[in-house]
Amino acid sequence: MEIEDHLFKKGESVSHLSCPKNTVKFAPGQPDTIIIHYTAGKSGESSAKYLCRKKVKASAHIVLDRSGHIYQLVPFDTVTWHAGKSSYEGRSGFNKFSIGIEIDNAGVLEKVGNKYKSWFGKTYPEEEVMQAVHRNESASRFWHTYTEVQIDKTIEMIEALMDRYPTITNILGHEEISKGRKQDPGPAFPLDKVRNGFLESREEELPMSDDYEGIVDVPRLNIREMPSGSADLAAAPLEGGTKLKVLQQHNGWLKVETKIEGWVAGQYVDIK
Ligand SMILES: [Zn+2]
């Protein structure tokens, strides 16, 4: 999946919607988290259009329908309103830290006779229902299942996002940042499995020890906010011979610490 101008490239499986109510850009270093949701709505298209309505005080970057079609509502450099009241590991208000992915799924279902009914009255066949205990609850309930293509597409989107935005280091469910208030994406979504897959592959890129050091091997070396040649400069260029502590590596770039932190092109650093 390609990201261009902070949008998944338009195509057969990606449409762009206009959602001009969201105008605030993320602060430097953000977003650092992807939040997974379910829509609890009738269809992906209807949820996407609803979230774009001017008067609706909610939005998201992405709505993924059950066939795997992606609706992008807002570019990834812009804050959306998907998290609401939220906190996790000492931080609150996750809209300003995160990309919101909404997946078309009815959520909790109630068994009525031999049918399973959503809060909005639509019924679902048994093949689309699973019984499971939510991570924040103790008794089992009925949940609308996700389609295979939805899970595959979510993984593809996360992969593309983490590649394009190296600031992203975590994937959380709405149920984890708004405990008690929210149940999405719920036990039908393999959140832990998806998250662990990405976090493990990310860790393999990290240096093995803390005292990984280097020296600037060219007369002057640009230090940037992000691991990209087009990213803003973080400070004046580093002088040749400057000692660096290497914190992280990504696609040939090194995150280093001197008096400040920033990213430098790895080939100009002599690693000890
Ligand atoms: Zn949610």
For residue 176, give the H/E element and its range.
helix 174-177
Mean pLDDT, range 35-47, rounded to an integer: 97
61 and 85 in one domain?
yes
222 and 190 in one domain?
no
139 and 50 in one domain?
yes
Gap from CA of 134 to ligand 1 centroid (Å) = 15
223 and 138 in one domain?
no
Interval 118-172: pLDDT, tens: 999 999 999 999 999 999 999 999 999 999 999 999 999 999 999 899 889 899 9
163 and 28 in one domain?
yes
145 and 43 in one domain?
yes
- CATH code at position 123: 3.40.80.10
Mean pLDDT, range 98-116, rounded to an integer: 96
Gap from CA of 33 to ligand 1 centroid (Å) = 14
Give the chain's domain count.
2
- CATH code at position 228: 2.30.30.40
Model pLDDT, residue 198: 83
Torsion of CA 160, 166, 169, 173, to 10 degrees: -40
Q: Which whole-number Å values give the CA distances from 151 to 15, 109, 147, 159, in the listed order? A: 19, 20, 7, 12
Confidence of residue 204 (pLDDT cuts 50, 70, 90): low
Gap from CA of 3 to ligand 1 centroid (Å) = 24
| Phi/psi at 220 (5° precision) | -140, 140
Note if 102 is an active site residue: yes
User: Catalytic one among 4, 102, 126, 200?
Assistant: 102
**What is the domain extent for residue 171?**
3-201
**Contact indicator for 24, 36 with CB cutoff of 8 Å:** no
190 and 209 in one domain?
no
Gap from CA of 95 to ligand 1 centroid (Å) = 11
Interval 207-241: pLDDT, tens: 555 667 899 999 999 999 988 877 889 999 999 99
